Amino acid sequence: LSSYPSYIDLLPSIQTCNITNLPENYFLKYYLYHALTWPQLSFVAVVRPKGGYKAGTSKAGAGDLSGNYPKVVGYVLAKMEEEPTDGMQHGHITSLSVMRTHRRLGIAERLMRMSQKAMAESHRANYVSLHVRMSNVAALRLYRDTLGFEVEKVESKYYADGEDAYAMHLNLQSMW
């Protein structure tokens, strides 16, 4: 177990997955803030290196990420809303993506369901919210049709390039 990489070891690989798949990107310290503040809520899907983990045995030592660390092929970065305007304790999906090579395998659905369960069980979240581009057909189908999210409102020019967002939410009280 001691040689198994921790979530924090994987942050650079999570950031790479994000940059590869989405235009909304974050400083490494923002991932770290999520990991330290709400460690139960974020999850990754990884491809294991052949031969298992050998942390500490590579030339650069235990901190070397080049050789035998797993590659993140999907992640969900999630948090609890710190100052909810409606006064309701709720979770928020900051970012979700899956590498093209690993799509349509159910990874995103699984990551989302794990995060939603943790929000309900660890934080008694009333609901989970997120924003999604109106043009993002794949994500909209995942959220609305597969997971049961509902559109709460349209947020005009939410994204830096001027695109509108659907603000969506899903009630979690039945999971308490």
Site for ligand ACO, rule CB under 6 A: 21-22, 93, 95-98, 103-109, 130, 132, 136-139, 141-142, 145-146
- Identity of the residue, 107 or 120, whose beta carbon is nearer to ligand ACO in the bound complex: 107
Least spacing, CB of residue 30 vs ligand ACO, in Å: 14
Residues 6+ apart with CB under 8 A from 13: 46, 65, 69, 70, 71, 72
CB 91 within 8 A of CB 129: yes
Nearer to ligand ACO, 35 or 132 (CB): 132
| Residue placing its CB nearer to ligand ACO in the complex, 55 or 70 | 70
For the bound state, the minimum distance from the C-beta of residue 127 to ligand ACO, rounded and expressed in Å, comes to 14
Strands 165-171 and 43-47 turn out to be unpaired
Q: From CA 55, how far away is CA 120, in angstroms rounded?
A: 34
Nearer to ligand ACO, 52 or 150 (CB): 150
Work out how close the CB of 39 gets to ligand ACO at its nearest, in angstroms, rounded to a whole number. Answer: 20
Nearest approach in angstroms of CB 60 to ligand ACO is 31
Q: Which residue has the tokens 């990420």?
A: 65
Nearer to ligand ACO, 62 or 138 (CB): 138
Q: How far is the CB of 1 from ligand ACO (least distance, A)?
A: 28
| Bridge partner list, 171 | 127
Nearest CA to 164 out of 135, 140, 129 is that of: 135
Helix and strand element counts for the chain (H, E): 4, 6
